Structure 1
Amino acid sequence: MSEQSQNLILVTQPAPAIELWSLNLPEQRNPITDEPMIEALIGNIDRIRDDKSVKCVILTGEGKAFSAGGNIKKMADKSGMFGGEFDEIREGYRNGVQRIPLAMRSVDVPFIAAVNGPAVGAGMDLTTMCDMRVAAEQAWFAESFVQLGLIAGDGGAWFLPRLIGSARAAEMALTGDRVDAVTAERWGLVNYVVSAENLIERSLELAGRIVANPVYSVRATKQLLLDSERHTLESMLEECASLQANAHFQPDHHEAVAAMLEKRAPRFTS
């Protein structure tokens, strides 16, 4: 990952086992379609993939927006991934922004989107790639591609119906209208709506409830949730049997059982 890419995502550790990633182009409202930002996101995902010390990531945006999604100026200039002939643009999406959802789905570390402001187009879709979403009261969401004469080129049409159902997803995608944070919570897009001042604190509280559990169980559970979208019940149960058998050999499982029998808090090693 280049030095430029490293500066595009600010990484801090506000609590043990929890990382906070902040998209860091506030003056541009944190677009995610340019190659350096894509490289920054994927580089950090690759970094934590096998790092068992990271048990949860909170993703947010610097400034007033979570992410405006695509770089509108480059769309107007027909530059970057938005320029060239048909085949060049198609490959630009495949080798550009579409790498983000594939990377997000390839890692079993839980992600919480702390949505501090507008999440628009690909920026909204990035929130749907996360496992949970906490929104500030002033945040809003827009699957606004149709209003630019476009479609969700980064997989949003796959993620959104799985979160809020086909009818609500159709309403958002076909109108491009804004959905405020309270409505998003009612529709099941958002887990919690909080004041801007409490956004990171509430996200950390949620992350803390996750990281209190053994890393094997957390990561294996996320993997099961992801795999459930493609499995039959029979194949899902087969995967559960294998993962559960492995869980029985984990020291943290033995400690959890002992702690419950002894009526004390567990002392996990991971």
Structure 2
Amino acid sequence: MKTDDSKNKQSLQELIDTKDFVEHISVDCAIFGFDEGIMKVLLLKYHDLDLWSLPGGFVFNDEDLDDAASRVLYERTLLKDVFLSQFHTFGKIDRTENNVHRILLKNKAIEVSKDHWIFQRFITVGYCSLIDFTLVDSFPGALNETIAWFEVNKLPKMAFDHEEIIQRGLEHIRKDIDTQIVASKLLPEKFTMKELQTVYETVLGEELRRNNFQRKILALNTLERLEKFYDGSANKAPYLYRFADKK
């Protein structure tokens, strides 16, 4: 029976032997969620290295970019049909100079030519997603040994330019917050305005005035007001809402 280390070496060898990838193009997914009011991002740790990265991968020759991003997300989280936003292309000439692949291959005693495609310059297309992190059943890929959630303001040592990708992705989530919240499935089908405001405050990282927030949200015409929510307390019962496109 093969050990985990030998299986990993075999998987890594199969990856670098693949000739079906588009040259110099990759995708990286900044996958955000939140836990108890704290925004987090999903990261992977490389084997034998104290270095973390975003879930990412290469693009097959017969694969659209969007499909590649969805595949990478599924391989890392087992989540399907997740709303993904393509938000930026990262192409600085030195973005892959700290190429961890050389160290990984050396540690596994895998020899490849100096001009192998995995060592060459890569331009990566960034995708981001806001999801319910409790639904993620994550597992590591061929290059990684650990996968975990980290607070966006307390990141570990990152590979390549992935810290910049995370910050750009978070900015995109916040700018497109109305669409992201609708698509994220962070709320139950029926929710109160207070619950919705809590989600907004967590993503934006700031407190919002209740009256101003309610006025802004209702003006979007994305909510359908339902019955009142009675929880047995002496407080005034709030209305329940759902997104208008949800049945």
RCO (CA 8 Å, sep 6+): is it higher in 1 or 2?
A: 2
User: Fold match, TM over 0.5?
Assistant: no
Select the structure of larger CA radius of gyration.
2
Task: State the TM-score, normalized to the length of structure 2.
Answer: 0.31
More helix by share: 1
